[in-house]
Chains A and B, each alone.
Chain A
Amino acid sequence: MTYHNFSDFLGSLERYDDRLALTIRTFIKIERLNYVDLRRRVNQVAQYLQSEGLKPGDRVMVIAPSSPQWVELFLGAQLIGVTIVSVDAQSSLETVQGYARQTEPQRIFKSRYLLPELADHYETIVLEEIDSLCAGQKQTAPAYQLTGRELAVIVFTSGTTADPKGVMLTQRNILANVSGVQEALTIDPNWRALSVLPLSHMYELTGCLALLSGGASIFYVPRVTPLAIVRGLKDYQITVMLAVPQLLIQFLERIRQAAEQTGRSALFEHMLRIASRLPFSARRLLFRSVHKGLGGHLDMVVTGGAPIPLDVATTWERMGVRMVQGYGLTESAPIIAVNNPTARRLDSQGPPLGNIELRLDDATKEVQVRGPSVFAGYWQNTVATKAAFTSDGWFKTGDVGQLDNGFLQVRGRTKFTITLASGLKVMPEDIEIVAERHPRFKALCIVGVHRAGGEEVQTVIISDKSDHAINTAIADLNSDLESFQHISSWTRWPEQDFPRTRLLKVDRRRVQDWANMSAHTKPQVSVVKHIPGDPLVTIIRLALNKPTERIHKHDRLSDLGLDSLRRLTVVSLIEEQLGVHVTEAAITQHTTVTELRHMVERGTPVMASPTWPKWTYWPWVRILGGVLRETLLRGVVRIWVAQRTEGANNIKDLSGPALYIFNHVDNLDGPVIYRALPRSVRRHLAVATADDVMHSHKVLAFVQRLCFAAFNFARVEPIMPSMEYAARLADQGWNIALAPEGKISADGELQPFKSGIGLLAVELGIPVIPVKTIGLYGTIPLHKIWPKKRSKVVVRIGRPVYFDTATTYDDATAQLQKMMETL
């Protein structure tokens, strides 16, 4: 399918209107946008931008992690011909300011807490608030005729300090690539994709648009961490991911580690060998425990950014996950070639897209391409633009490759770009320019050295300084570089000067070849003392804002600037990135980096999600539980309670889930309320039961779960998991019953509501119905299990009340309390 412009593209999505487009968890609730909602929001964003005075050709910068709002803003801007300048959320203030100086954006949309300093110089808007900013806008697209030649996006090739080049892509460039990708991958509406890469990169952006063009559903996590990815895979039953090789390498390492820890390493490797001879479905069965950890549905990963090592790809395939490798560059919007999922080759980046012409230069074997997705040029840089194309108009990728039966195999580069395993690209020249500002060595040459999954940045130097002095000097140099550019190892060049080309430039090719050879043969290669990828050091660097090289293992954290605020950041990051709990109180004035490392090693692992039993909600358990419940209610409860209901009419028109809140006077109020509600409600009614009670009374907990679909609800912080759980149940159509007082009243009088009820009422966005029992107090009082008396009870059902998100939790709580009192 060909799209002429983004208005055309959005129109084509109409056929998926009632399907799920974008999903993210915000606070306690899962926010879902169907295609119809997405299109409406995009129109509103366009209207809003227009009302803010933005005109075609204006630029808007975005600095934020991936989210539905990011997509809305991008598409909304396209509808009125406004260009998005997309910036990686990890960029430093300096880098962002550099981009802003070059592109002069009229507005900057940024994630809430990122780069607060920007607000001093630019008009910034919090991206997370865009939906509420646009809420009052018209839901139709502004009348504006798009040609498709509008500049859609400016993407900077890398966070270079020296010479950032803004790649200009038009609407047609991107949409041509979307069509090409859609055709190659045959995306269908049943795909459920987890987004783990930043939308500021074309790989993710075009991937997102291609998925949408095929009617697929995309799921976002608030922050991309290994824990969040696993949780996302499970929660959303993900089938597809777009990833860089690094992620697959990491996950594979974890799987191997887990096998090792349970003593099944040999078995695992043996299974891999067997699997190579099995059909795909059997492989998934063989590795079902691995698949269970990945949510059970992951079927395919599209990799790009860097070539995936063959052994990694093969291992994943043997475990029953299809590896579809592709190749591209930002300048080609970005996909040039990608494998077809049903005819894929692991040793190739696939055949070129249908609308891409690809040729190899006769002499250099450089991959050169032509086609509708090839970019218009670099932003305000005609020299670089001219240099990027051959005289007959083909884009020079700088990669060397070969074609094998039409399948592209990228073999290396003509340029010396270093491709890290994360897919990030480092230009050696960028580092050398920074190094030249303060010369520390006679000469140096930056090259890429092959490591598992990618390359790392190495510097080859000529110097007669001591190793120690060199380490210090490199540490110093690193502090002037962006973190991804950091030099991770160095070697001494054995001669007095580097080999030179005829034009007397350093012959980088020869230096690089030598460095790669000596990396394997010569043990004397010195590595800068810290381990560059050491996650704990990275955490300390982030929280304490100290360059990695200033962090030594015997340093006290307090000397590095740890205070209570930063300590909480450290603890939070350890939890998110390393999946381990460390208590704040254990980190004192005297704790050193090494001691912190020991704490991490001994820390208790963080659970991905609450581990409450799932069986409660199995259909057959509900049927059995329902029968038992009805027997109990009609047979047993009625012996002790004669009850009648008032106000049943108040809820007869309700459809969909609601939150029933009741006064807590007696151990029997759960059953009594159940009996008062109509069958249609109680069939899907889950009762929030105090977490501590469920834990201490196992039998009671079992009966509660079985008969009343009870779930654990924490009475003290952290209450977030309980809230999320309740939200998830409501999301699946369950009614929730909850006693907002938190405990049984000792004297039958109504106690103050806990503030959490206001939060649930506002955030769940479902009607709240107060239900009051009168006359029940004392039937089975607190701490008793046997009825003391027979009671005559009136159950009053109040009118449903709705809260909008602008209501404060305190107000909602107070209002509900009042309603209960006056009922």
Chain B
Amino acid sequence: MLGIDLVHIPEFQKQLASGGDTFLHKAFSTTELQNQRPEHLAGLWAAKEAVMKAGGLKPGKWQDIQISHKQNGAPIAQVGLDVYEISIAHHGEYAVAVAQRLKDEP
């Protein structure tokens, strides 16, 4: 299954400004928060949304979707034992991500 999501970075930034630390720590794992630049976080958020869509996950499980990087730098998302291949792109005010669930672990 495929999932895609588009994030308007300034709007995302506004939500971060309103939701504050509580928002940050609900949306992202502690390690994902090392780089707190809005563009970066918007990309991660898009990826998580895409994974939710691809996996048909219930909302609110942002912390369960862990985004990390493979040796070659390509991002990958893990939800429990499921692995999703993801791709994130930024341009101007937008961040976009697609996710596809892999049948077996790579």
Partners in one complex: yes
Give which listed residue, B10, B12, B30, B38, contacts A117 with CB less than 8 A.
B10
Q: Are A572 and B19 neighbours in the complex by a CB distance under 8 Å? A: yes
Taking Cβ atoms with an 8 Å cutoff, the residues of A that contact B are 27-28, 111-117, 222-223, 542-543, 545, 564-569, 571-573, 575-576, 583-585, 587, 717-720, 723, 755-756, 758-759, 762, 808-810
Q: Are A756 and B30 neighbours in the complex by a CB distance under 8 Å? A: yes
Q: Give the complex CA separation of A762 and B34 in angstroms.
A: 10
Q: Are B59 and A567 neighbours in the complex by a CB distance under 8 Å? A: yes
Q: Are B33 and A576 neighbours in the complex by a CB distance under 8 Å? A: no
Determine chain A's interface SS by DSSP, over half rule.
helix
Q: Are B68 and A810 neighbours in the complex by a CB distance under 8 Å? A: yes
Name the distance in Å between B52's Cβ and chain A's nearest Cβ. Answer: 7
Q: Give the complex CA separation of A584 and B60 in angstroms.
A: 5
B31 on interface, CB distance cutoff 8 Å = yes
Q: Are B20 and A543 neighbours in the complex by a CB distance under 8 Å? A: no
Give which listed residue, B45, B58, B63, B68, contacts A717 with CB less than 8 A.
B63
Name the distance in Å between B79's Cβ and chain A's nearest Cβ. Answer: 12
Within 8 A of A (CB), among B11-52: 11-23, 25-27, 29-31, 33-36, 38, 45, 49, 52
The 8 A-B pairs at the shortest CB distance, nearest first, are namely: A584-B60, A113-B17, A572-B22, A572-B19, A572-B23, A717-B63, A116-B10, A569-B19
Name the distance in Å between A502's Cβ and chain B's nearest Cβ. Answer: 50
Q: Give the complex CA separation of A758 and B30 in angstroms.
A: 11
Q: Give the complex CA separation of A810 and B36 in angstroms.
A: 15
Q: Are A568 and B23 neighbours in the complex by a CB distance under 8 Å? A: yes
Name the distance in Å between B59's Cβ and chain A's nearest Cβ. Answer: 5
Specify the chain A residue showing the minimal Cβ separation from B21.
Answer: A222
What residues of A have a CB within 8 angstroms of the CB of B33 in the complex?
Answer: 27
Q: Are B18 and A573 neighbours in the complex by a CB distance under 8 Å? A: yes
Number of B interface residues, CB 8 Å?
Answer: 38
Q: Are A568 and B19 neighbours in the complex by a CB distance under 8 Å? A: yes
Determine chain B's interface SS by DSSP, over half rule.
helix
What residues of B have a CB within 8 angstroms of the CB of A222 in the complex?
Answer: 20-21
Name the distance in Å between A733's Cβ and chain B's nearest Cβ. Answer: 24
What residues of A have a CB within 8 angstroms of the CB of B7 in the complex?
Answer: 565
Give which listed residue, A112, A116, A569, A810, contacts B23 with CB less than 8 A.
A569
What residues of B have a CB within 8 angstroms of the CB of A759 in the complex?
Answer: 30-31, 34
Name the distance in Å between B34's Cβ and chain A's nearest Cβ. Answer: 5
Q: Give the complex CA separation of A576 and B64 in angstroms.
A: 22
Q: Are A718 and B18 neighbours in the complex by a CB distance under 8 Å? A: no
What residues of B have a CB within 8 angstroms of the CB of A116 in the complex?
Answer: 9-10, 13-14, 38
Name the distance in Å between B95's Cβ and chain A's nearest Cβ. Answer: 12
Q: Give the complex CA separation of A543 and B35 in angstroms.
A: 24
Give which listed residue, B9, B31, B60, contacts A809 with CB less than 8 A.
B31
What residues of A have a CB within 8 angstroms of the CB of B14 in the complex?
Answer: 113, 116, 545
Q: Are B19 and A755 neighbours in the complex by a CB distance under 8 Å? A: no
Q: Give the complex CA separation of A742 and B12 in angstroms.
A: 34
What residues of B have a CB within 8 angstroms of the CB of A571 in the complex?
Answer: 26, 60
What residues of A have a CB within 8 angstroms of the CB of B45 in the complex?
Answer: 565
Q: Are B59 and A585 neighbours in the complex by a CB distance under 8 Å? A: yes
Q: Are B15 and A114 neighbours in the complex by a CB distance under 8 Å? A: no
Question: Would you give 5 A-B contacts (Cβ < 8 Å), ordered by A?
Answer: A113-B13, A116-B13, A222-B21, A564-B52, A810-B69
B62 on interface, CB distance cutoff 8 Å = yes
- Extra contacts besides A718-B25, A755-B68 (12): CB < 8 Å: A114-B17, A116-B14, A222-B20, A222-B21, A543-B19, A571-B26, A584-B59, A584-B60, A717-B64, A719-B29, A808-B34, A809-B34
Q: Give the complex CA separation of A572 and B21 in angstroms.
A: 8
Q: Give the complex CA separation of A780 and B40 in angstroms.
A: 46
Q: Are B30 and A542 neighbours in the complex by a CB distance under 8 Å? A: no
Q: Are B21 and A723 neighbours in the complex by a CB distance under 8 Å? A: no
Q: Give the complex CA separation of A719 and B62 in angstroms.
A: 14
